[in-house]
Structure 1
Amino acid sequence: MSDLIQTAFADGVLTVTLNRPEKKNAITQAMYASLAAATQRARTDDTVRVLLFRAEGDSFSAGNDIADFIAIGSSGGGQVVDAPVFHFLKALAELDKPAVAAVRGRAVGIGLTLLLHCDMVVVAEDALLSVPFINLALAPEAASSLLLPMVIGHQRAFEMFALGEPIDGRTALAWGIASRAVPAAEVDAVAAGLAAKLATRAPNSMRKSKQLMRDAGALWSLMLREGEAFGSQMSSPEAMEAFMAFSQKRAPDFSKAG
């Protein structure tokens, strides 16, 4: 388990903490491997009743580590479905126990799409959530091409994908991405309280209820299709321009793309 992903278990709740606050909890491939292991443990360990995601610092997650993207894209990239991130996504798709998230600050990319796999999401009222995949010349992931429109509607989802502009926690609540919006100082306590309540409920009834509410096989199949689109984009000239522009803190120039 990476030191950048910490786990703690108590009273049926497995708490997974993103612990890279100096990088806004941007997620590396090594961190994805640890997240996959923790999520798999939550599914297979009968003592775990609930999985709780939280983060240290002032952001939930800035999304994927751009340095990883540049390295993978520069290498010709392509088989992203073999990367640790997809081990984590498969574990998320197959998770049949309750997942809760506690979100403060920014939740970007996977920082938001992860929430679509959680059953209860507590956000800070001033949190900022975004999915700027197209800004990086990429494509949606984590089955978000299905789940985000399902939750908030096609037009809102398309705008979030296409423009990459953030919504705040109050909007996330109103649109159905979050189940609670509270002051930032209360996020962790409220999320932990909900996880503790869920841990007292009948576990087999909970698992069967969640299984009926999601089609794990269909989600994983879509994740693989998204992975093909994502992988083909990662090594594209327009993605490399987007990555370099991000690193150089300038606007990308897609005028020659097509």
Structure 2
Amino acid sequence: MTSPAQTARRRETLVIFALQIIALVALFLVWELVSERKWIDPLFIGRPSKIFEYLYTATFVDQSLFKEAGWTLWATAAAFVLGSIGGIVFGLLFVVYPPVERFFDPMFSALNALPRIALAPLFILWFGLGSSSKIALGFSLTFFIVLNSTVAGARSVDSDWLILSRMLGASRAKIFFKVTLVSAVPTIFAGLRLGMIYALLGVIGGEIIASQHGLGQLLTYLAGTFDTNGVFGVLFFLALLGVMLIKLMSMLENYLLRWK
């Protein structure tokens, strides 16, 4: 039996969801009116009815969005996995052996300060127009985000827990795996969620600059042919894709932290 508080919370959630839908519909209606009356040239803002027509065609008729999304998601997944593993490994290594962090800190700080999109032409020169250059760009973004979140999480452990563990005779290895690492998991997952989005952004950015496949390449083609409705359609698809990836990471985090 649900409590009054749970019932009120569900009612509030439904009301907020309904208001969001109403606001979204109102936005599209105003947008359609402005475009139809040409108060703003449709070449600049598109037209919602044409945008949804493009989405329907590209999704259910020729399925071009799914085909290009396959290339983008493959590169994003590879960049995210490689960047996350590298970031977690180096982050934990820095926590366990601080001299290693002091050795790498100047190099990593300099690399992290570089605008990664400026490295895209270099990655394309090294790895070519295929997925490898996009994976490298996404990796360079994900790695430092996950690295910083891992270090921050591992060093934010409550000192009382560490003192109590030592008093109970726990070894350094047990303290690390049972206390430090477990306590750092929520912060690490916060970095992983952000790293997932930045991996996608890095791959899309690389595809926009130079690529044979992918949603970024499709965006470049549509913009080059002045297909504003298509551009907005792909952007909406990317926004939905990003939300789905974040939800997936949140579900995984809730599953792994169900013991809390």
State the structure with more CA Rg: 2
Normalised to the residue count of structure 1, the TM-score between the two structures is 0.22
Query: Per residue, is there more helix in 1 or in 2?
Result: 2
- Report which of the two has the higher share of strand: 1
